[in-house]
Amino acid sequence: MNPKSDTSDLSSFLRARRGQLTAQECGLPASGSPRRVPGLRREEVALLASISVDYYTRLEQGRVRASASVLAPLARALRLDEDQQKYLYELAGKADARPRRRRSGQQVRPAVERLLEQLGQTPALVLGKRLDVLAWNPAAAALYADFPAIPAALRNYVRLMFTDPAFRAMHLDWAHDARDTVAALRMAAATDPADPELARLVGELSVQDADFRVWWAEQRVLGAGSGTKRYRHPLVGDLTLDCDTWDSPDGSGQRLMVLTADPGSPSHDALRILASWTADHPGARATATDGDSR
């Protein structure tokens, strides 16, 4: 909700959107009288939104603030898309109470898959809304694990952190990294707290690991951001890598996680060695997952 919302901004948006629509596309009967301006008439918008013409006129003229109850029918009447609806609520200074459309959130876009491959020797992962490992590039598989060998149902970053001995051992600051991972899961869970798969994951890990149980109860949250991770890899030894994560702009709940090292540093050289090893061992190559849509 935007406390600085202004009725003039809202009225301008309503007028502009009204002018972009036609009676035909809104399912209204054609009028016999010619239109002086393109777009819908005010009375037509009022009819479509089931509100009075007087109220809509005052709303469009900026003489009254929009009530929360009128925004949803207005959005339908003006045929607003998802972004436009969000903008409407922001301009009106009202909380958006519309029920959210549930999305699978587990399909990685082809453009992101291409990006993973093009990052080359830079390890990169796509994590889903429960921190499922949805996609990875060969460098990430060489650094972390043989992801294709892990069943899709178990290919989860949090689960690996707490239940896979090799994955756990490579984190030199395991307690710090694992606690942050729990906080990231808690943050992701806020978007869909009723998710049965999330409940199953949290239940299993709470039973299996006392640290997870304690850290989950802390209610600590952590969004996308940046930090430093230290690893001990069985092939190239110790690495210190910058870890950056970005939330997907499409509302899927996915995150892109990328690990880099300062050029010329021992860790940078180690990543190059891993990339070379991956190139020499085709079996270690990894691509996006098979579209698991749990």
* Mean pLDDT on 18-41: 78
The answer to whether residue 210 scores a pLDDT higher than 50 is yes
pLDDT over 70 percentage in the chain? 87
Phi, psi of 124 (to 5 degrees): -150, 140
Residues composing the chain = 294
User: In percent, how much of the chain has pLDDT > 90?
Assistant: 41
Separation of alpha carbons 186 and 201, rounded Å: 12
Does the pTM of the predicted model rise above 0.75?
Answer: no
Per-residue pLDDT, 289: 44
How far apart, in Å, are the Cα atoms of 33 and each of 7, 22, 39, 41, 45? 31, 14, 14, 12, 17
Lowest mean pLDDT among 32-41, 224-233, 270-279: 32-41
Cβ contact 139:121 at 8 Å: yes
Rounded Cα–Cα distance for residues 12 and 18 (Å): 10
pLDDT number for residue 280: 59
29 vs 261, more confident:
261
Non-local CB neighbours of 185 within 8 Å, separated by 6+ positions: 130, 131, 158, 201, 202, 216
